[in-house]
Amino acid sequence: MAQPQKTTRRAVTLKQVAAAAGVHASTVSRALNPATRSMVAPAVVARVMKAAAHLSYRPDPVAASLRTGRSKLVGILVPDIANTVFAPILSGASERLSAQGYSVIVADVGNDGDRQLDLAAGLVARRVDGLILATVSRDDPLAAFCVERNLPAVLVNRAETMARLSAVVSDDSFGMQLAVDHLVELGHRRIGHLAGPAQHSTGFLRRRGFGHALAAHGLDPAAAPCEVAAAYTREEGAVAMRRLLDAHPGMTAIVAANDLLALGAYDVLRERGLDCPRDLSIVGHNDMPLVDMVQPPLTTVRISHREMGRQAADLLQQAIEEEGISVRNVVLPSRLIVRGSTAAPRKAAPAEGAKRPRKAR
76 and 165, same domain (yes or no): yes
Question: Residue 346 pLDDT more than 50?
Answer: yes
Question: Residue 7 pLDDT more than 50?
Answer: no
List beta partners, residue 224.
Answer: none
Q: State residue 94's pLDDT score.
A: 95
CB atoms within 10 A of CB 264: 22
Question: Residue 32 pLDDT more than 90?
Answer: no
Q: Is 206 left (phi over 0), alpha (psi -120 to 50) or beta?
A: alpha
Question: Residue 10 pLDDT more than 60?
Answer: yes
Question: Residue 342 pLDDT more than 90?
Answer: yes
Taking the CA atoms of residue 15, residue 21, residue 25 and residue 28 in that order, the dihedral angle to the nearest 10 degrees is -120
Q: State residue 58's pLDDT score.
A: 73
Question: Residue 353 pLDDT more than 50?
Answer: no
Q: State residue 71's pLDDT score.
A: 72
The dihedral built from the CA positions of residue 90, 93, 98 and 102, taken in this order, carries a sign that is: negative
Q: What is the mean pLDDT of residues 204-223?
A: 96
Question: Residue 247 pLDDT more than 90?
Answer: yes
Question: Residue 95 pLDDT more than 50?
Answer: yes
> Residue 44's domain is classified under what CATH number?
1.10.260
CB atoms within 10 A of CB 77: 23
Q: State residue 61's pLDDT score.
A: 54
Terminal CA-CA length for the chain: 110
Q: State residue 360's pLDDT score.
A: 39
Residue 211: pLDDT band with limits 50, 70, 90: very high
Q: How far apart are CA 24 and CA 39, in angstroms?
A: 14
216 and 103, same domain (yes or no): no
34 and 147, same domain (yes or no): no
Q: State residue 109's pLDDT score.
A: 85
Question: Residue 361 pLDDT more than 60?
Answer: no
Which has the minimum average pLDDT: 55-64, 119-128, 288-297?
Answer: 55-64
Side chain identity at residue 13, one-letter code: T
250 and 274, same domain (yes or no): yes
Q: How many domains is the chain built from? A: 3
75 and 42, same domain (yes or no): no
List beta partners, residue 191.
Answer: 253
- Residue 120 resides in a domain: yes
87 and 18, same domain (yes or no): no
What is the residue range of 236's domain?
172-303
Q: For residue 31, which phi and psi values (nearest 5 degrees)?
A: -65, -35
Q: What is the mean pLDDT of residues 319-347?
A: 92
Q: State residue 66's pLDDT score.
A: 42
> Residue 296's domain is classified under what CATH number?
3.40.50.2300
> H or E segment at 227?
strand 226-228
178 and 299, same domain (yes or no): yes
Q: State residue 80's pLDDT score.
A: 87
Q: Residue 52 half-sphere exposure, CB side, CA atoms within 13 Å? A: 18
Q: How far apart are CA 162 and CA 176, in angstroms?
A: 23
- Residue 349 resides in a domain: no
Residue 352: pLDDT band with limits 50, 70, 90: very low
Q: What is the mean pLDDT of residues 31-59?
A: 80
Q: What is the mean pLDDT of residues 175-193?
A: 97
Q: Residue 76 half-sphere exposure, CB side, CA atoms within 13 Å? A: 26
96 and 144, same domain (yes or no): yes
Q: What is the pLDDT of residues 42-52, one digit of tens each?
A: 888 888 888 88
Average pLDDT in the chain: 87
Q: State residue 357's pLDDT score.
A: 41
pTM above 0.85, yes or no: no
Largest CA distance in the chain: 110
Question: Residue 142 pLDDT more than 70?
Answer: yes
The more confidently predicted of residues 24 and 260 is 260
Cβ-count burial 100-127 (b if 16+ within 10 Å, e if not) = bbbebebbebeeeeeebeebbeebeeee
218 and 314, same domain (yes or no): no
179 and 295, same domain (yes or no): yes
Residue 2: pLDDT band with limits 50, 70, 90: low
- Residue 343 resides in a domain: no
